[in-house]
């Protein structure tokens, strides 16, 4: 998702940040296998209640407590071993301290390494309401233009524990996916709204059951929907949408066979959506060509109209761009090229490959999500309009780079780096493509990255090594420069006595690597074209072409 913080925003990290951002003693010894989440939503009181069955496997270094995340003001009702059913539930002691549930201090149970257990957490309360969704997320309790209830949740950044108990960390996705059961509170006011307004609740994955109350049923019947995700899923991708939706189903023949496409839109937008969403098939074919098969054939692809701008919710992408081209009807690149497609459809769908399929272990490395996905916009532009316009589109996005801080954040404290992870991230990918100088090799690298880390979490170091190994380009200093500093390389040059003198300023330097930062820059005059490779040291070449030098490049650099 695209979002923006004020320039030079700084944070003072707290103990709570460390608990959220690190694999601490209450987390490291167990690994999530599956979540079974069940939530009842009360639109009248804006409260929820529910339970999450957490299936996990025991690893090494078993601790005397377990950390589960659940943010205030939600409260815990009960915690126990088992699924909560009678005769299959052993109550555990717990202590909730702010946003963390510490379960069973001084475990009496003897855990067996490699064994699988289930813990159920029952909880309730009024979840955080979104302030500016999806950037400052939580629950959006809203109504559509017809006055009918329209409710959804967004939680990237603020965290999934803002509405359900989980291990709120990107590196531990449920290996076997999850089920999501959603019910509408069955008191008379909600039930009347349900029957009158044709409320549907849509979530990730595939619809397993849908129970519709019949006329004449008593008010204690809760209409509910149950969805299943078979693939691993980021916690922040788990979501739901409640509204007066109409559903349209379609299919696409992709690289792995038939892919189910489902579109859920507000009733009065049905005709407009049918036309506007036609781009989805062309987009998925394009992305499959460049980045490999759509990663979630088992769960399908959904586009769901949302009361906020958009979000890359896995297999249930949030769409709220009001059926406009560009980004809310504007072109972020300033070139006009971005008005040829709907930014939200393309960008958020690109996250299915990078962000949802290949996931950064620590949010400090979320440039892997946002940088590569922002470059997917360029790839789609190339499929749509050709390489020349795609390059212009990509370079146009670089005008948004602020260079306020590095795009990799601090590790272990739940902090992302600069928002430049989007536009500098796409510049990084574009420059790697130029350095590779072989579009097919670059394409195979992208497809391979998506395949090698299929449904896995990844570090920046792993991404760097894979990209370098599979492009054949030495990128050590390049990654240091563009990922870990906020400096843009600057070429300083002058012409004297028919010699062109040049060097880089503002570049990363580390004598221990013996690999100085350099780029192969093409230069030209009216008569001569040459390639130079500046470093931080002065170099020179013969130049009998006067003082005018044109740096004809697609690199993120400055010219002094």
Domain locations in the chain?
490-559
* DSSP output for 104-162: -SS--S---TT-EEEEEEEEEE-PPBPSBTTTB-EEEEEE-TTS-EEEEEE-TTT-GGG
How much is the pLDDT for 186?
67
Omega cis (within 30) before 134? yes
How much is the pLDDT for 548?
77
- Residue 265 in tokens: 């839109």
Specify whether the CB–CB gap between 419 and 437 falls below 8 A. no
- Please state, as a whole number, how many other Cβ atoms lie within 10 Å of the Cβ of residue 494: 12
- Residue 182 in tokens: 């959603």
How much is the pLDDT for 442?
98
- Residue 365 in tokens: 């490395």
Digit-by-digit pLDDT tens for the chain (560 residues) are: 544 444 444 456 888 889 998 999 999 999 999 999 999 999 999 999 999 999 999 998 888 889 999 999 999 999 999 876 767 788 899 999 999 999 975 566 778 899 999 999 999 999 999 999 999 999 999 999 999 999 999 999 999 999 999 999 999 999 999 999 999 886 655 555 555 567 899 999 999 975 555 444 444 456 789 999 999 999 999 999 999 999 999 999 999 999 999 999 999 999 999 999 999 999 999 999 999 999 999 999 999 999 999 999 999 999 999 999 999 999 999 999 999 999 999 999 999 999 999 999 999 999 999 999 999 999 999 999 999 999 999 999 999 999 999 999 999 999 999 999 999 999 999 999 999 999 999 999 999 999 999 999 999 999 999 999 999 999 999 999 999 999 999 999 999 998 999 999 999 877 666 788 999 999 988 778 889 999 999 999 998 887 778 887 789 999 98
Q: Alpha-carbon dihedral of residues 338, 339, 340, 346, nearest 10 degrees?
A: 60
Determine the 3-state secondary structure of 394 from DSSP.
helix
How much is the pLDDT for 187?
62
Distance separating alpha carbons of residues 380 and 286, to the nearest angstrom: 6
Name 349's Cβ contacts closer than 8 Å, sequence gap at least 6: 280, 283, 284, 287, 301, 303, 312, 317
Distance separating alpha carbons of residues 82 and 163, to the nearest angstrom: 22
Tell me whether residue 552 is exposed, middle or buried, using C-beta atoms within 10 angstroms of its C-beta: 0 to 12, 13 to 18, 19 or more: exposed
Determine the 3-state secondary structure of 426 from DSSP.
helix
| Closest residue by Cα to residue 312 from 233, 382, 378, 365 | 233
Distance separating alpha carbons of residues 315 and 206, to the nearest angstrom: 9
| Closest residue by Cα to residue 313 from 180, 200, 507 | 180
| Biggest CA-to-CA distance, the chain | 96
Tokens 């149970």 label which residue?
Answer: 109
Specify whether the CB–CB gap between 368 and 460 falls below 8 A. yes
Name 81's Cβ contacts closer than 8 Å, sequence gap at least 6: 89, 90, 92, 109, 117, 118, 119, 120
Specify whether the CB–CB gap between 461 and 407 falls below 8 A. no
């Amino acid at each position: 998702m695209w979002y923006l913080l004020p320039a030079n925003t700084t944070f003072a990290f707290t103990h709570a940040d460390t608990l959220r951002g690190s694999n601490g003693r209450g987390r490291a010894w167990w690994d999530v296998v599956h979540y079974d989440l069940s939530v009842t939503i009360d639109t009248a009181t804006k409260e929820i209640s529910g339970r999450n069955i957490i299936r996990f496997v025991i690893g090494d270094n078993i601790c005397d407590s377990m950390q589960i995340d659940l943010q205030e003001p939600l409260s815990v009702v009960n915690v126990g071993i088992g699924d909560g059913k009678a005769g299959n539930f052993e109550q555990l002691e717990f202590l909730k301290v702010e946003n963390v549930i510490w379960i069973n201090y001084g475990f009496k149970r003897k855990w067996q390494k490699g064994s699988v257990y289930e813990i159920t957490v029952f909880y309730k309360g009024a979840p955080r309401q979104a302030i500016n969704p999806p950037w400052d997320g939580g629950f959006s309790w809203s109504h559509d233009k017809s006055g009918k209830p329209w409710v959804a949740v967004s939680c990237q950044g603020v965290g999934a524990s803002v509405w359900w108990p989980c291990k709120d960390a990107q590196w531990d996705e449920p290996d076997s996916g999850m089920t999501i059961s959603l019910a509408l509170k069955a008191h008379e006011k909600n039930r009347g709204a349900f029957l009158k307004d044709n409320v549907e609740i849509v979530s990730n994955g595939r619809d397993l059951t849908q129970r519709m109350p019949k006329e004449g049923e008593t008010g204690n019947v809760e209409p509910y929907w149950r969805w299943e995700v078979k693939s691993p899923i980021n916690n922040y991708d788990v979501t739901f949408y409640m509204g007066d939706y109409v559903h349209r189903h379609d299919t696409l023949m992709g690289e792995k066979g038939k892919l189910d496409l489902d579109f859920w839109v507000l009733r009065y937008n049905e005709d407009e959506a049918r036309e506007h969403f036609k781009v989805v098939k062309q987009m998925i074919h394009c992305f499959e060509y460049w980045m490999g098969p759509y990663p979630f054939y088992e769960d399908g692809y959904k586009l769901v109209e949302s009361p906020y701008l958009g979000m890359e919710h896995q297999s249930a992408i949030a769409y709220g761009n009001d059926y406009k081209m560009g980004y809310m009807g504007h072109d972020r690149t300033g070139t006009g090229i971005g008005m040829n497609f709907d930014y939200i459809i393309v960008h958020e769908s690109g996250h299915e490959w990078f962000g949802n399929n290949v996931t950064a272990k620590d949010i400090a490395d979320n440039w892997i999500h946002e940088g590569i996905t922002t470059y997917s916009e360029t790839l789609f532009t190339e499929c749509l309009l050709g390489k020349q316009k795609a390059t212009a589109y990509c370079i146009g996005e670089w005008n948004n780079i602020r260079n306020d801080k590095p795009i990799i954040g601090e590790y272990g404290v739940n902090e992302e780096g600069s928002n430049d992870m989007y536009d500098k991230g796409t510049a990084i990918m574009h420059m790697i493509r130029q350095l590779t100088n072989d579009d097919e090799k670059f394409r195979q690298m992208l497809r391979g990255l998506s395949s090698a880390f299929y449904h896995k979490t990844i570090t920046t170091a792993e991404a760097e090594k894979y990209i370098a190994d599979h492009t054949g380009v030495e990128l050590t200093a390049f990654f240091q420069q563009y990922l870990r500093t906020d400096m843009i390389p600057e070429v300083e040059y002058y012409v004297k006595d028919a010699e062109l003198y040049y060097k880089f300023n503002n570049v990363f330097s580390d004598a221990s690597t013996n690999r100085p930062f350099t780029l192969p820059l093409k230069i030209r005059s009216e008569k001569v074209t040459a390639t130079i490779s500046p470093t931080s040291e002065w170099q020179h070449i013969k130049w009998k072409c006067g003082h005018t030098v044109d740096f004809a490049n697609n690199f993120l650099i400055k010219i002094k």
